[in-house]
Structure formats: structure tokens, C-alpha cells
Amino acid sequence: MTTHDETIYDDSSPGLDSSLPGADAYGASVDDDTAGARSFTVSGGDWNDLVDEATALHEERIVVNMGPQHPSTHGVLRLILELDGETVTEARAGIGYLHTGIEKNMEFRTWTQGVTFCTRMDYLTPMFQETAYCLAIERLLGVTDRIPERASVIRVMMMELTRMSSHLIALGTGGMEMGATTVMTVGFRERERILRVFEAITGLRMNNAYIRPGGVAQDVPHGAVAMVRGVISELRTGLSELEKLLVENPLLKGRTVGVGYLDLTGCVALGVTGPVLRSTGLPHDLRKSAPYCGYETYDFEVKTRTGCDAYDRLRIRIDEMYESLKIVEQCLERLQRTEGQPVMIEDKKIAWPAQLAIGGDGQGNSLDHIREIMGTSMEALIHHFKLVTEGFRVPPGQAYVAVESAKGELGCHAVSDGGTRPYRAHFRDPSFNNLQATAAMCEGSQVADVIVAVASIDPVMGGVDR
């Protein structure tokens, strides 16, 4: 990251005392543009070091800031490349430009309000972050086995739809970066179908804050199962179109086969997970190796390939979307079987009110629920008020829970001091770890291959910086 840590000035120069009348602390005297001038030399940190080194060695090397190329990295990811002609001799990823302080902010909100923060980290995979966070809270509370089956089924369905939505963005933006705009339009068209499902169920397209400690905010609305069945049929057709555009396209294979190579040893050394890891042939998937939300009861396969390159990562994402469709179909069958069952834990000291409805001013507590607590039960009204304003208490302790996000292992480490707010909430975001592989994938390759390699990682900087 660029630093400005070198300041050079001469204390013997006249007029340096900024306390004197007419003095300018950051330049020359106000009265005289030349008298008492202060000189500031600001260095560029690692940038200048690389340039000086290249100059000292008298080699034809160039240091450049590359991009932004990916649509989600404008101004938030700095790729520093050292070039020898068209060959990348050194690559660095500078991060921190999108730091939001989400994790720190969560320490000043109740446990339930924290969902509204963590859902915004990797804005393409909100359901995974919400689930990991809520599972960690439920483990601290000791209520993991008391979560209603219907709530877990809804969580799985929403996560798998989110996985497809994220993969469609990865394929679409990756294709666009290589000049294949049709891939982007098809990918975004199919993702739009999924976002309409999210909006129908949660009231929002993104940043849903739908999964809550103890269950979900509300049950799926009437007609949602039929709607999702129709969307599944449409998605199968759309995925087939993407396959025809991509899989055997000689131009795409020429740009991706053998590009961004990272083998199993490199993945393990860097802590890389997700499709990048599975492209090395290792079938590591937390849904199988450390199941949660009842994943052990679903029928699906962990897709792997052995090319260790950008092409195999693309193929894995397509294969995983088909597996996600299989899981969603199983969820729909279970939703029909559990019709009418609760979607929030029965413990009223934990359960956030799940009687929500869509009104003229958006989603909120249903009018029937408000009439009940306002008109028939003073105790219910007081409890509702305290739960919403103060939140529930979580016993002291710490828990780490990981889920298989679309990009890899997403973990939440939650620490409680016994209060109504997290003492600490820290996330292991897969994009943060996976982005470390940029240098290993790019050094020794061509400049144009850097674009493909980074796209195959599929980083989202909101998850990297948090």
C-alpha cells in the first residue's frame, strides 16, 4: 500500500515558525513567496523502491499500476506489476482502499443488528455471511440443535441460490474482461432471475439481513415454492446457453487453459479454498467435510478438475451451479413437507419477531402482530421492546463456524463477554486469502494473463477489506 512517510525540511531556514504572524505552516511565507520556503518530499513507498531498484540494475524494466480492469476493482484494488517487456517479473496486490470498519462497528450493535453489517461485506454472497455469523451465535448460545428444520431448509436454499448468483457474476465479468460481452449479458440475465426470488422472499435484492440468530426473519411467502420451481427451469436453460458459449470455445480456451496456474502445494501454502482449490483435484468442500444446516442429508457431488488453471475454475463453477440446482429442488420438496412449521426458535428470549409483512412503507412487523402486542398483552409488548432495543444476552465464550461460500471457506469467529453485543466478531473471508495467490499465478506470465488470473480468483474487495 502506498505510504507517505518521508518528510524532508531544513530547520535552519528562516520563517519556519508557524506560530509567527504571516507564516504558512505548509509552504512559503504568506508575505513572500520565496522567503522561508519549506520543502516537502513525499515518497511512494514500495513504488519508489521498485523503480529505484530497476534503475540501479540498468535493466529494461517497467513498474506499472495495472487496471482497474475488473468492474468491482475500480479504485479499490491496486495491482503493482514489474515488467520485462510483456512478461510479468513481479506482481503485488495492494489492498485496504475499501476498508469499511464493519467488524469494528459490529461491536457497537446488538447481536441481531450485526447481521445488517456482515451481509454487506462480500456483497455478492450475503446469505453465506449471514449464515456463518448466525451459526456462530447459535453455537455460543448452545441452541444449534434447536433451530427449526424449516429454517435450516430455507437457509440452504437461499445459500445455494446465492452460490449460483455469485458464480454467474464471476463468469459474466470474467468474460467481459476478455471481450466476450455476450457472456456478461447472459450471466447477468440469469442472475436477475435469482435476485427476483430474493426480493420476493426477503423484500430486498441484496444486503438482505434475512437470516437471523435462531432462524430466519420470516417464512417464505405464499407461492414462493412454485416461483422457485419456475426459476429453476429457466436457469437450466440459461446455464446451457453459457456452456455453449464458453466450454468448447477455442478463443476462450486459448486465453484460459494453462493460465493462472496454481497447484495443490501452492493452494495449501497460501490457504486458498473454493473453486481455486478444487481445480487442483482436491475435493475439499465444507458441506461434505464439516456439514452444517443439514447438508449431510442432501444429495450432491463435490466437483473437481485437475488442470489447476483458469479454465478449470470456470468449468468447476458451471458444474457447481448444476449441483446447486439439485440441492434447491430437494429444498423445495422439504418446504412442501414442512408447510406451516416454525421458522424461528421457540425460545422467546432469543427469537426475533418473525411476524413480518410488506406494507406501504416497506417490510416490517405485520399489523396483526402489532395489534396483538399492543392490545392484548402488556408483557408481550414490554418483551418486544426490550428485545428490539437491548437485544438478548449471549453467554461468555468464543466460537468459530465456517461455511462453504461460493469463493471458499468463509468463517466467523465470534467472541462474547456475556453482554448483548459482540465483544469481537472477525471473519475469515475467502477473497482475502485467495487474493494472495495473485503473485504465484501471474509472475512469469504475460500482462494479458494477469486479467484472466485475477478474474479466475473471483475476488470481491468488500470481503477483502471489511
Shared-domain flag, residues 316 and 429: yes
* pLDDT at 382 exceeding the cut of 70: yes
Mean pLDDT across the chain: 82
CA–CA distance, 311 with 440 (Å, rounded to integer)? 17
More confident: 317 or 84: 317
pLDDT digits (tens, 9 = 90+) for 353-363: 656 666 666 65
Per-residue pLDDT for 87 more than 50? yes
User: Which pLDDT band, with edges at 50, 70 and 90, does 93 fall under?
Assistant: confident
Structural domain contains residue 328: yes
Residue 141 lies in a domain: yes
Torsion of CA 308, 309, 315, 321, to 10 degrees: 70
pLDDT band at 295 (very low <50, low <70, confident <90, very high): very high
> Helices in 257-407 by DSSP H: which ranges?
264-270, 275-278, 286-289, 310-337, 367-375, 378-389
Cell of 386: 426490550
Asked if residue 86 and residue 203 are part of one domain, the reply reads no
Instruction: Note whether residue 356 is domain-resident.
Output: no
CA distance 368 to 387: 19
| pLDDT > 70? residue 72 | no
pLDDT for res 345: 87
227's grid cell? 416461483
Are 61 and 191 found together in one domain?
A: no
Q: Are 163 and 18 part of one and the same domain?
A: no
> Which amino acid is it at 50?
L
Angle ∠(410,195,246) on CA atoms, nearest 5 = 80
Q: Same domain, yes or no, for 81 and 230?
A: no
Q: How many domains does the chain have?
A: 3
Asked, as a colleague might, if the bond just before 68 is cis with ω within 30 of 0, I would say yes
Does the residue 187 lie in any domain? yes
SS3 75: coil
Residues 49, 39 contacting (CB under 8 angstroms)? no
Do 177 and 295 fall within a single domain? yes
Residues 120, 79, single domain; the answer is no
Does residue 320 share a domain with residue 252? yes
What single string gives the DSSP state of each residue in 208-273? ---EETTEESSPPPTTHHHHHHHHHHHHHHHHHHHHHHHTT-HHHHHHHTTSS---HHHHHHHT--
Using one digit for the tens of pLDDT, what is the confidence trace for 163-174? 999 999 988 888
Q: Cβ neighbours of residue 407 under 8 Å, at least 6 residues apart? A: 122, 125, 166, 273, 274, 275, 430, 431, 434, 458, 459, 460, 463
pLDDT of 165: 93
Domain harbouring 377, CATH code: 1.10.645.10
Residue 357 lies in a domain: no
What integer pLDDT is reported at residue 19 of this predicted model?
44
Domain hosting residue 88, numbered range: 54-94
- 460 and 386 in a common domain: yes
Look at residue 291 and tell me if it is in a domain.
Answer: yes
Q: Residue 30 has what pLDDT?
A: 44
Instruction: Provide the pLDDT for residue 377.
Output: 73
How does pLDDT run across 420-448, given as a tens digit for each residue?
899 999 999 998 999 988 888 888 888 88
> Is position 449 within any domain?
yes
Q: Give the HSE-up count for residue 90: Cα atoms under 13 Å, Cβ half-sphere.
A: 13
User: What whole-number percentage of the chain has pLDDT above 90?
Assistant: 36
CB 28 within 8 A of CB 34: yes
Same domain? 4 vs 151: no
Residue 197 pLDDT? 92
Judgement on whether residues 160 and 229 belong to the same structural domain of the protein:
yes
Domain-located, residue 49 = no
The verdict on 31 and 141 lying in the same domain is no
Q: How many CB atoms lie within 10 A of CB 375?
A: 9
pLDDT, one tens digit per residue, over 185-236 is: 999 999 999 999 998 888 888 888 889 998 898 888 888 899 999 999 999 9
